[in-house]
Structure 1
């Protein structure tokens, strides 16, 4: 939908074209200059009105975009949670399948941590 500035700017631009054409026909420098000035001013006003319409359309659609983003974020969170559950179950199953290996790894990790904290004792 066209707003007031778009309409008035377009009308002023067309009026300026007519004014310049009349100035050319009667060889009036004043009419020619006024026509060009109205064309430029009308073009600027029309451009401003167009930009305003675009911004208003964006603002009007913002709630819909926010809802869509919220839904995508929720779906992504659910996928991450599913992936974490699957990975956690796989880790638990690995520990159940090879308990001796994991006990040895835990003992070595504990020894390394104790050595790092307390240092070597001579």
Structure 2
């Protein structure tokens, strides 16, 4: 690969890593997708209760982003009070095997990674 190609704005804008993964690889997106895998249809309040450390604003922003990218579906019911349900789209479901692989890897590696962090933080040469 031509190293100069990495500095080309067109290449960077169209790079799948930057364009797609940057949108779904924040901790909230992955947690929302994972939660919607466990509970296929959820209302906003249910999602917020399942992910208690996310603010309402961040949950709203993240759901909008996931909806914009076609990963999450938002269904609004015309009733009072308003009812809105969220679920994974087929595109969102197609992401699950990849996320589940990453989640499994993280579970398998977590103890060793935490141990390495403890070792590094106690290393006076850093």
Which is higher, the Rg of structure 1 or of structure 2?
Answer: 1
TM-score band, normalised by shorter chain: under 0.3
Structure number having the greater strand percentage: 2
TM-score, L = length of structure 2: 0.24
TM-score, L = length of structure 1: 0.25
